[in-house]
Chain A
Amino acid sequence: MTRINLTVDGSKVSDDVEPRMLLVQYLREKLGKTGTVIGCDTSNCGACTVHLDGTSVKSCNVLAVQADGSEVTTIEGLAKDGELHQVQKSFRECHGLQCGFCTPGMIMQSVDLLKENPDPTEQEIRVGLEGNLCRCTGYHNIVKSVQHAAAQGGAQ
């Protein structure tokens, strides 16, 4: 077992974990943060995307021990004081989902994308989300949601 200390969604946490434990397992099984989902388990689909020290990563492709000393933000930590993040609001407004399974990862990657590029073109949005798959193929409204969020100043 290895001791890790990190901050998850604003709270300090400390645990002894097996080195082989994936960050996504740690978030879901140890901390109960099941908002972050496991989609493909092969690092392709992006459903498990979280922010590690401010940039997006696939949490099925990071060991929990590698996150020692870091700050993690999951989909559950995006809303502030009960108010949804603008990207969350826009996904609801534009119905940027069908079954909803890819949504946590899509939203986390969209937040990262808008931070890098607050006013992306449609093509830049599609390229920015290329590491996130929607098995319902609902990309049309996902792209619209990101455009909506950008127009509302969603980069914050």
Chain B
Amino acid sequence: MIPAPFDYLAPTTVEEALAALGQHGDDAKILAGGQSLLPVLRMRLNAPEVVIDLGKIDSLRGIRDDGDALVIGAMTQHSVVEHDALVAEHTTLISKAVEHLADHQIRHRGTFGGALAHADPAGDLGAPALALEAQFVIAGPGGTRTVAADDFFVDLFETAIGEDEILTEIRVPKHTGWGATYEKFVRVAHQWPIVAVAATVRVEGGTIAEARVGLTNMGSTPLRARAVEAALVGQPATEDAVRAAAAHAAEGTNPPSDLNGEAAYRSHLATVLVRRAVLSAAGSS
């Protein structure tokens, strides 16, 4: 299986990439690491006339400390994020999620921004980005704008990025000292999660002071489990208290039914995985 023919552009700056996007509009597709796009092109689910490769734009790579946040360049490979000491210390939840994303070879090529912009509801990065209240920096012909995680994910494979825009970096507020766990349920190695839970909590003297919980594959976008978060705050980090809060995990979700499980099964799974993730996160903070 090979892709349909396309013209290939490899700009070296964001400005050049935006100009190319402006010129070709609808007919163009942005190529980041290609680990989701190339299978789509090979299966001919999409056949753009022009592919704009961001791989030669060095300014889109790297991770930097920006005071109260870490800034992750959109083209930073998963394997770089996975092994980054700043990410591990200040946004532990991201380290935990990236560690088991796809497999080694895919993590060497796939990019942090590419995966988020692809917005697969079963992707592993959306729920942590929501839980950590990440901000998405998007460049367009009129300059850059910043979109909050809550407004970034619009629908299945759809984000707030406009057709003439490019995601350039993701700002993740530091959660230094927060415990974090990404609990992913799969049947076989490197499968997309059937359901996964991203949990990060701050524990003070045995009590949960703050909690953030994100859900993967429980709807057409990643979701925040706000009812769980509200129920956890002020509670002791004990099995009983966390179990009671986790009972709210499926509230406001709309999980899919497919060969891997019915919606009701996923709803049940969410309560189990939230309990495990929160208890583990509380134990590691």
Which of A's residues lie within 8 Å of B, judged by CB? 2, 18-22, 25, 41-44, 46, 49, 52, 55-58, 60-63, 65-66, 68, 109, 112-113, 128, 130-132
Binds A, one of B5-13, B125-133, B267-275: B5-13
Chain A binding surface, main DSSP class: mixed
Give the tally of cross-chain contacts (CB within 8 A).
84
Q: Which residues of B are found within 8 Å of A2, using beta-carbon distances? A: 8
Q: Which residues of A are found within 8 Å of B6, using beta-carbon distances? A: 19-20
Binds A, one of B89-97, B102-110, B199-207, B276-284: B102-110
Can you show 28 pairs from A to B with CB atoms below 8 A apart?
Answer: A2-B8, A18-B5, A20-B2, A20-B4, A25-B2, A42-B42, A43-B35, A43-B39, A46-B103, A46-B105, A49-B105, A55-B79, A57-B109, A60-B42, A61-B109, A62-B34, A62-B38, A62-B109, A63-B31, A63-B38, A65-B53, A66-B34, A68-B10, A109-B105, A112-B104, A131-B105, A131-B106, A132-B103
Which of B's residues lie within 8 Å of A, judged by CB? 1-8, 10, 31, 34-35, 38-39, 41-43, 51, 53, 55, 79, 102-106, 108-109, 189-190
Taking the nearest CB of chain B, how far is it from the CB of A69, in angstroms? 9
Q: Which residues of A are found within 8 Å of B105, using beta-carbon distances? A: 46, 49, 56-58, 61, 109, 131
Instruction: Establish whether residues A113 and B104, one from each chain, have CB atoms under 8 Å apart when the complex forms.
Output: yes
Q: Which residues of B are found within 8 Å of A19, using beta-carbon distances? A: 5-8, 51
Q: Which residues of A are found within 8 Å of B108, using beta-carbon distances? A: 52, 55-57
Taking the nearest CB of chain A, how far is it from the CB of B24, in angstroms? 14
Q: Which residues of B are found within 8 Å of A61, using beta-carbon distances? A: 34-35, 38-39, 105-106, 109
A33 and B277 CA atoms in complex are apart in Å by 46
Taking the nearest CB of chain B, how far is it from the CB of A67, in angstroms? 10
Name B109's closest neighbour in chain A (CB-CB): A57
Instruction: Establish whether residues A130 and B55, one from each chain, have CB atoms under 8 Å apart when the complex forms.
Output: no
Tell me whether A130 and B38 are in contact in the complex, defined as CB-CB below 8 angstroms, given that A55-B108, A65-B8 are known contacts: no
A45 and B243 CA atoms in complex are apart in Å by 39
Tell me whether A128 and B104 are in contact in the complex, defined as CB-CB below 8 angstroms, given that A19-B6, A19-B51, A22-B2 are known contacts: yes
Instruction: Establish whether residues B102 and A131, one from each chain, have CB atoms under 8 Å apart when the complex forms.
Output: yes
Instruction: Establish whether residues B2 and A130, one from each chain, have CB atoms under 8 Å apart when the complex forms.
Output: no
Name B3's closest neighbour in chain A (CB-CB): A20
